[in-house]
Amino acid sequence: MTMKLSTTLQHVNIISYSVNAKIVKEFYEYLKGIGTSENYQDQNLKQVAGFARFLGGGKTFYDIKSKEEIVSFLNTKIKDVSVDPNKNTIMFNYRHIP
């Protein structure tokens, strides 16, 4: 079942670290301000909020200093070969992240 934008925003409000929650809310306001669709906003907010949850309460987005910190989160999104034999869930090759 897919979540609506309103549900995703409720999840943003319960991000444990207030600095990251504020950044995600500012990102949402930016997405609204440039006229993106609600679906686009929803999908982006789900991923950014997921990254905030992955970081936990001890690290802000500002503390991210290496590619490996991001890659470790992205690796959690890769499904097992038995579930996704064609690797359709990998949307881009993140090895090219500078």
Euclidean distance between CA atoms 79 and 74, whole angstroms = 11
Residue-wise pLDDT tens for the chain (98 aa)? 456 888 888 888 888 778 888 999 999 999 999 999 999 999 999 999 999 989 987 899 999 999 999 999 988 887 777 777 777 666 554 444 44
Report pLDDT for 28.
95
What pTM did the predictor assign? Answer: 0.75
Pair 4, 41: CB distance under 8 Å: no
At which residue do the structure tokens 């950044």 appear? 23
Who contacts 94 (Cβ-Cβ below 8 Å, separation ≥6)? 70, 71, 74
Which ranges of 14-93 would DSSP assign to H, the alpha helix? 18-33, 38-55, 67-75
Q: Where are the domains of the chain?
A: 1-57, 65-98
